[in-house]
Amino acid sequence: MLSIRGLRQTFNPGTVNEVRALQGVDLALADGQFVIVLGMNGSGKSTLLNAVAGTFLPDHGKIEIAGHDVTRWPEHKRARLVGRVFQNPLGGTAPNMSIAENFAMAARRGRARGLTWALSRDLMDDLRARVSTLRMGLEGRLDNAIGSLSGGQRQALTLLMATWLRPSLLLLDEHTAALDPKSADQVITLSDEIIRREKLTTLMVTHSMQQAVSLGDRIIMMHRGRVLHDIQGAEKKRLRAEDLLDRFDEVRRREQLDEPAAALLQELYV
């Protein structure tokens, strides 16, 4: 469903702020696969997601989604295939517009927007039914500005909006990191529910080991712009949070040495 080959991206090349964010990422996701992306700060997780979403066009490499080569597609064109939830709970909704209007826009994700009525009766009926499944009591407040809701509520609605039209690929970028623990739990449960029910191909970035272990059917761990570990199948099922922490420690130990020293040690002892 998603295929990434030889993806490279350097920000601010040739300056002191040069960041080699992606250094050759290869990744293929099967249809319906739910993949967790782990990694320390600056490992390139979010850059990877942004490259897939089209926030920037990469220096090298190729990205295919659902059989389309989208490498040169602008962000808004990729929206036809991709549903997204951002880390910032304010990022995925238009605060001064009503809940219903936000959904009217989500119901046209990636499609032509003409001069037909945005809030049709069909949409409103459908909307009330689906929003009530969130059990947040929002179905009676569809005309309220979405900015008046809590971060957790907004994130749950953004998730519902991103999956309103079934996306070929769902991107979740640390979408519970900015929420309080209770809301985070709610949103995670909801995400898992929707992804399982709709069998959505998903890339989810997280910092939570617990989420990584309990969710999804594959974990990729990124380090310095590359995929360092790829854990799937039976190994993923057996995996405990401590195992992941061990792997992080290993990365951290290696981080203490500079790159040439690490390479030298590896050559001598491995």
Partner 1 sequence: MTLLLGAFTIGLILALLAMGVLISFRIFSMPDITTDGSITLGAAVAAVLLVKGHNPVVATAAGAVAGAAAGALTGILHTKFKINALLAGILVMTALYSVNLNVMGRSNVPLMQHTSFATWGEQLGQKLFRAEYIDLAGWRVASGDLTLLLLSLLAATAVGVVLFLFFRTHLGTAMRATGDNAQMIRALGANVETHLILGLALSNGLVALSGALLAQYQGFADAQMGIGMIVWGLASVIIGEALTGSRSLGVTIIGAVMGSVLFRLLVAIALRWGLDPNDLKLVTAVFVFAALVLPGFAKKLRRVPSAA
Binding residues (CB under 8 A) for partner 1: these are 53, 74-77, 79-80, 84, 86, 90-97, 101-102, 104-106, 108-111, 113-119, 161
Of 111 and 199, the one with the shorter C-beta distance to partner 1 is: 111
Q: Are 49 and 37 in contact (CB under 8 A)?
A: yes
Of 38 and 161, the one with the shorter C-beta distance to partner 1 is: 161
Q: What is the smallest separation between the CB atom of 54 and partner 1, expressed in angstroms?
A: 9
Q: Are 62 and 69 in contact (CB under 8 A)?
A: yes
Q: Give the span between the Cα atoms of 1 and 107, in whole angstroms.
A: 22
Of 81 and 227, the one with the shorter C-beta distance to partner 1 is: 81
Q: Are 221 and 254 in contact (CB under 8 A)?
A: no
Q: Give the span between the Cα atoms of 198 and 192, in whole angstroms.
A: 10
Q: What is the smallest separation between the CB atom of 178 and partner 1, expressed in angstroms?
A: 15
Residue 174 CA: distances (Å) to CA of 53, 84, 178, 240: 15, 11, 8, 20
Q: What is the smallest separation between the CB atom of 57 and partner 1, expressed in angstroms?
A: 14
Of 114 and 233, the one with the shorter C-beta distance to partner 1 is: 114
Q: What is the smallest separation between the CB atom of 109 and partner 1, expressed in angstroms?
A: 5
Q: What are phi and psi of 21, to 5 degrees?
A: -75, -40
